[in-house]
Structure formats: structure tokens, C-alpha cells
Amino acid sequence: MNTGKTYLITGGAGFIGSHLAEQLLQQGHRVTVIDDLSTGSEKNLSKILGRPAFTFIVSRVSACPELEKLVARTDVIFHLAAAVGVKLIIEKPLYSIRNNLLETACILELACKYKKTFLLTSTSEVYGKSPSHSFNEADDLRIGNPHLSRWSYACSKLMDEFMAMASWREHGTPVVITRLFNIVGPRQTGRYGMVLPRFVQAALENKPLTVYGDGTQSRCFCHISDSLKALMQLTKGEPPLGVGDVFNIGTDSEISIADLARKVITLTGSKSEIEFIPYEKAYAPGFQDMMRRKPCLKKLLARTGFKPETALDQIILDIAQSLSPR
Ligand code: UDP
């Protein structure tokens, strides 16, 4: 008898979603992915396409004719479909805002109707320009000037969080809210601005690594395999472990972007140089970066026992291997 569960992953052809789908199938579950392939790719699913327990639907969430039927027979929904990457958000703010708000509203309504476990992937961007050294889920948030497109992403994701939380409070829908902090690994594309795949790709080609600003801004990079453990753990149990609450997901080991560039060059044995580029040239005039972005992981640890395990050197080597010509 198959004791596996049924999962629905929106945005499942993306970097995180495709790894999640693989893991769940490996654990004996049934998985359906809905993805409009706007930023995801069918290639990401090549290992699992054709498996009997896997279904792939190419569609926007809101345009999927079978959506209600799918939600009705699913156990857990991972809602990952969203506009991704700072570059894309700045280039297409209206598309990004609409996408983040409308698609979430659509699937959340069905999750409420059928009382399904619903995990929302929000973002560390919501902490905005908070001066805190370690972002805590209970912190007040400090979003930048609304005339700068960048912050529309944080606001749209925050509204998703509000919608999810209201669904829990008003309807008892078992929602789990996660804020992802710089999740990285094989398959992530640098096309939408993500720094690590861009650096590794450039290093492998002995091309300059472009550091924006003075490179003192820092981030904490968490391997996809670690973050998947946290995501899956939070949806386990009846009610799910993370129900009605918000959790940071990431690692708290921090590195400046200039040091990251040096590390990538050393570990890949590259001949690349580092080029410093002003923010306004890299993005848009008036661009505001987050100078630090480090999660407090106490709540996640207390609830799930989760601790990130993969060191940054290993992460870089892993990405380099996936990008190297075979
Ligand atoms: N960044 C950079 N060079 C690049 C891409 C990004 O210096 O080619 C910087 C970017 O300005 C930011 C950091 O790297 O300070 C992380 O950028 P990413 O877009 O990966 O993530 P986020 O800003 O969302 O943390």
C-alpha cells in the first residue's frame, strides 16, 4: 500500500521547486507541478518527467483549468510561484506585483475552501532596511521608499503573508509562512541577478566577477538541500509543525560580497579579476541595497531541530561542478 502523500508545487519548474519535487518523489510521494515557465524551465524537471507519480502542468496558477480539482485531492501545497530576482523586479515591477498578489490570492482561496496545508515562500526582502544584525521574525519591518521599484517586491510578498495569516486566523486554514534567505545551489540561474551563480559562471570562464557597490554588503548563503529539509519539516504533522507562524529559512554564516568573489576565484582556480561597478550602473538610479541580511534561526531550530549543514566552500564547489562542461 502506498502511504505517500499528494503534493502540489506551484512554480515547481524553478530552482527550488524542482529540487523539492525530486525530494518528495524520492520519499515515495505523488507530486504535481504547475509552472508557467516564465522563469522556470522544463530542463529542471528532466530527472523526473515521465515518472508515474509525477504530473507537470504548464500554466499560470490562476489560468489552470484543473486547479480546484488538484487542490481538492492534494495534502500539501507548496506555493513557490512568484516573480524572482531583484533584476526582474526592477525591470518588470507591474508584472511582478500582479503576479505575487493575484496568483497567491487565487490558490489560497482554494486552500481555504478545502482546508489544505499551505506553505507560502516569502522572502528575507521583507525585512527591508532593518538595522538589526540578525533578522528576527518578530521584528518590525522597514521597507524603503515606495517610489523605488525594488521595495514593491517586499510589499507584495508581505501582502501574501498577510493574506496567508488571515486565512489561518479567520478560516483555520493550516498555513505555514517561510522567509527564504539567499538559497543557492545547482540549477539556480544568474539570469535574474542572483550573485552566486553569476560569480561561479564568470570564474569558470575566466571573465571578470562584477561586484556591485563597494562589496562590503553581506549575505548568508544556504544550500538548497538544507533549505529543503526545513521546508518539508515545517509541513509535517497534523496540524503541521509550522502552522499559523512565520519562519526564517537560511543559514547565519555571513560573508561580504567582495570576500565571496575572492573565495569563488580561489576555489575554482580561476584567472578572473574583480570589477567594482556602481549600483546605479548595475541596477537603476537611486537603487538601494540591503547592506546586511542575516537570519535569526532560533525559532526554526526550536520548532524543527533544523541546522544548516553545508559549508560555503562546499556550496561553491557544488555549483561549479554543476556549471562545468561535462
Ligand atoms: N551582486 C553583485 N554582483 C552581481 C549580482 C549581485 O555584487 O553580479 C550583489 C547584490 O548587489 C547584492 C548581493 O550581491 O548586494 C546579493 O545579490 P542577489 O541578487 O544574489 O540577492 P539579494 O540582493 O536578493 O540578497
Q: Could you tell me if the CB of 188 is within 6 A of ligand 1?
A: no
In a domain, 146, yes or no: yes
State which ligand 1 atom lies nearest to the alpha carbon of 283: 11
Average pLDDT, the chain: 95
* Tens of pLDDT, residues 135-168: 999 999 999 998 888 899 999 999 999 999 999 9
In a domain, 201, yes or no: no
| CATH at 40 | 3.40.50.720
In a domain, 194, yes or no: no
pLDDT value, residue 284: 79
* Distance from residue 195's CA to the centre of ligand 1 (Å): 5
Give the pTM: 0.96
Q: Could you tell me if the CB of 150 is within 6 A of ligand 1?
A: no
In a domain, 266, yes or no: no
* Distance from residue 253's CA to the centre of ligand 1 (Å): 16
CA-to-CA dists, residue 68 to 24, 62, 120, 267, 320, angstroms: 22, 10, 18, 48, 41
* Tens of pLDDT, residues 278-296: 998 988 788 888 899 999 9
77: domain range? 6-183+223-251+294-306
In a domain, 285, yes or no: no
* Tens of pLDDT, residues 253-275: 999 999 999 999 999 999 999 99
* Distance from residue 227's CA to the centre of ligand 1 (Å): 19
Q: Could you tell me if the CB of 295 is within 6 A of ligand 1?
A: no
202: closest CA among 320, 97, 35, 306? 320
* Tens of pLDDT, residues 5-20: 999 999 999 999 999 9
Q: Whose CA is closest to atom 21 on ligand 1?
A: 194
pLDDT value, residue 85: 74
Length of the chain: 326
Q: Could you tell me if the CB of 210 is within 6 A of ligand 1?
A: yes
* Distance from residue 279's CA to the centre of ligand 1 (Å): 10
Look at the chain and report how many structural domains it folds into. 1
In a domain, 208, yes or no: no
Q: Could you tell me if the CB of 123 is within 6 A of ligand 1?
A: no
In a domain, 240, yes or no: yes
Grid cell at residue 260: 565571496
State which ligand 1 atom lies nearest to the alpha carbon of 261: 7
In a domain, 128, yes or no: yes
Helices (H), the chain: 15-26, 67-72, 86-91, 93-98, 104-114, 150-171, 195-204, 224-235, 257-268, 279-282, 298-304, 312-323
User: Contact at 8 Å (CB) between 211 and 252?
Assistant: no
Confidence check: pLDDT of 1 > 60: no
Residues 6+ apart with CB under 8 A from 80: 9, 10, 11, 12, 14, 16, 17, 20, 121
Q: What percent of the chain has pLDDT over 90?
A: 86
* Tens of pLDDT, residues 312-323: 999 999 999 999
Indicate which residues carry an active-site annotation: 153
